[in-house]
Every structure is written in structure tokens, then in C-alpha cells.
Homo-oligomer: A and B are copies of this chain.
Amino acid sequence: MNLSKTTKYAFRILGHMAKDEKVLYSAQQLHKDIDIPERYLRRLLTDLSKSGFIKSIQGRQGGFTFARDTSKITLMEIVDSIDGKDSIDGCILGYDVCVFNYSCPMHNVWEETKQKTIDTLTKTSLKDINNHPHDVF
């Protein structure tokens, strides 16, 4: 159960970009809009590009824009691409491989909550977020 700082950065970046889905954003512009260290932001943008969420256009007047429709990009995919699925779905006791056949007391207590989390992350797309009646990000 772990969302790294980097994943949270990705949420900010993609969430912001999703406000205007078709715009081409430069790293510099994004840095002005969002509070993330510039060089790190740039590296993340390249990573997100490699992960297939956005695509980059090189050269002067270049930048980043979505590679797919924002309604098709779920929060779970973003988490998975950076932290990996196990960061959410892994053993709550921290075991790499379960030795209790996925049914120890702790597992049973936690299972429902974990599923709720996975469901929310899986069902929520970037478009869902920005359909919300707010005008921030």
C-alpha cells in the first residue's frame, strides 16, 4: 500500500494536462503551472512518454500531449507504471511471496479495503477527474 512521491507527481502532471486534453505542453510551461523540480519533471515527462500515456514532440515548439484519450488512462495504470501493481496489491505484512495461501487473519481483515482502493484506482480515468465540477489543478 504505497504511492511514491513520483507517482503523486505523475498524478499532478497528467491531471493538469487532462484539463485541456489536446494542448501541447512544454516542460517549461508545466513547471510554471505545477510545483515540481524542473529537471526531475522533465525526466518524468520522458518516462511517462515511454510508458505510453503521453507522446513527445521534439525540437523547437515541441512538447508533450496525450498519446491516448484521457478517458482510457486510469489511475491504476499510472501507479503500475511507476511503483508497480504490488505497491498496492502486495502482501499487507510485507512478504514477497505469501506462505499462508492468501488467507491469514490480517489478509482477511484487509482484503475488502484493498479491493476498494484497487477498484477506485482502476475505475477512475483522467477524464473522470476533470469532469468534476471544479476548476483547479
Contacts and interface: CB of A to CB of B under 8 A. Distances in A.
Interface of A: 1-3, 5, 8-9, 11-12, 15, 35, 91-95, 100, 103-106, 108-110, 112-113, 116-117, 120, 124, 128-130, 132, 134, 136-137
A109 B129 contact: yes
Contact of A105 (B3, B108, B110, B132): B132
Contacts of A109: 120, 124, 128-129, 132
A104 B134 contact: yes
B110 A120 contact: yes
A95 to B, nearest CB: 8
Closest 6 CB pairs of A and B: A8-B94, A105-B132, A113-B120, A1-B3, A104-B136, A105-B129
A3 B35 CA distance: 25
A137 B94 contact: no
Contacts of A95: 35
Given A8-B93, A9-B94, A110-B120, A105 B1 contact: no
